[in-house]
């Protein structure tokens, strides 16, 4: 199995040499994810507007992880989708199951931090939402989105697949992100998943790799900045709390533009940390919740400092876990 399918896993030595900027983007992405979750656990305190803006501006991270995944798809996976899906399931689903149980144990034992999630979760949705490990939704979304795209590309072709991905994305934005404004109230897991959100990002990465030479660095930069600006503006329109929103019309432009820009950073260096981002993603929320429960809140600089430290520690732990074959299976797909 090519570990690049995760989008936040190591791209392999050959690919890292060809696109070192993507490896750097992965590392930047994990720091952005930790800032988002620092806001979610209340580390910005009374500085709600600052936390909200930083939260929104960091929402490029997970969409870029999806785009990167599609960017490195192999044609063999599309030609033989059932075999590739089975191989992906064998790697991805046990990883998800372990961390899901880990976060349930940490949350309900209350040994490390007071219970934040409560007992009112819908059990039937936990396989998709991540339950108390709310960041884990990315893994089942990745699996579902990849599976849908590969099967669709194989059996109905690129044009119909692209049309379906666009329509699903629009449905997720309109009925999910903008749902409250039109009188529709859907739970987050109903539209932040591998059916509505993930497919278009994944397919965009696949198409980006094919048409990469047609675009200039300046075009990617402008697309990324415009997408971020629109995403932020939409956040002020749709958000009813100090938390940012996952995706809307501007998010797809931001993700494509930023990933495209990363492909042009031929001199970028991540010093090998890109291979540790998946493990850091899986474990960071546990560290962040524990730290937030025992340290006082004192403003944005404090929150950003804590977020940076947690991200760095998570990367270090991810690499440490890879020192033995058994522990490696907890933080990597290979």
Residues 290, 109 contacting (CB under 8 angstroms): no
pLDDT at 153: 97
C-alpha dihedral, 154 to 160 to 164 to 170, nearest 10°: 140
pLDDT at 225: 98
Residues 259, 64 contacting (CB under 8 angstroms): yes
Closest CA to 196 of 127, 241, 248: 248
Residues 173, 163: Cα–Cα separation, whole Å: 15
pLDDT at 122: 61
Closest CA to 311 of 105, 112, 135: 135
Closest CA to 193 of 221, 171, 226, 161: 171
Residues 44, 252: Cα–Cα separation, whole Å: 27
pLDDT at 11: 44
pLDDT at 1: 39
pLDDT averaged per 10 residues in sequence order, the chain, 334 residues: 51 60 96 97 93 97 98 94 96 94 91 72 74 93 97 97 98 95 88 95 97 95 98 94 94 98 87 92 96 87 96 97 92 85
**DSSP letter at 297?**
-
pLDDT at 128: 86
pLDDT at 27: 96
Residues 94, 292: Cα–Cα separation, whole Å: 29
| pTM reported for the whole predicted model | 0.93
């Amino acid at each position: 199995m090519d570990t690049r399918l995760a989008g936040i896993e190591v791209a392999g030595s050959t690919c890292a040499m060809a696109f070192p900027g993507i490896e750097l983007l992965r590392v930047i992405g994990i720091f952005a994810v930790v800032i988002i979750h620092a806001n979610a656990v209340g580390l910005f305190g009374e500085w709600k507007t600052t936390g909200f803006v930083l939260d929104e501006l960091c929402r490029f991270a997970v969409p870029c992880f999806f785009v990167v995944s599609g960017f490195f798809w192999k044609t063999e996976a599309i030609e033989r989708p059932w075999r590739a899906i089975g191989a992906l399931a064998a790697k991805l689903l046990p990883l998800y199951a372990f961390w899901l149980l880990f976060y349930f144990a940490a949350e309900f034992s209350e040994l490390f931090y007071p219970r934040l999630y409560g007992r009112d979760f819908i059990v039937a949705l936990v396989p998709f939402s991540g339950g108390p490990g709310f960041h884990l939704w990315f893994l089942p979304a990745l699996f579902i989105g990849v599976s849908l795209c590969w099967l669709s590309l194989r059996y109905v072709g690129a044009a119909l697949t692209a049309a379906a991905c666009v329509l699903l994305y629009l449905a997720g934005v309109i009925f999910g992100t903008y749902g409250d404004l039109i009188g529709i109230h859907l739970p987050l897991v109903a539209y932040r998943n591998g059916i509505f959100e993930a497919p278009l990002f994944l397919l965009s990465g696949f198409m980006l790799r094919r048409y990469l030479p047609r675009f200039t660095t300046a075009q990617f930069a402008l697309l990324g900045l415009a997408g971020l600006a629109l995403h932020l503006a939409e956040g002020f329109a749709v958000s009813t709390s100090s938390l940012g929103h996952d995706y809307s019309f501007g998010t797809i432009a931001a993700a494509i533009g930023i990933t495209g820009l990363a492909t042009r950073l031929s001199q970028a260096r991540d010093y090998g940390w890109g291979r540790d981002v998946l493990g850091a993603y899986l474990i960071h929320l546990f560290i962040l919740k524990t730290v937030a429960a025992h340290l006082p809140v004192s403003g944005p600089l404090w929150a950003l400092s804590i977020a940076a430290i947690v991200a760095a520690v998570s990367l270090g732990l991810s690499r440490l876990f890879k020192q033995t074959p058994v522990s490696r299976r907890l933080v990597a797909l290979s």
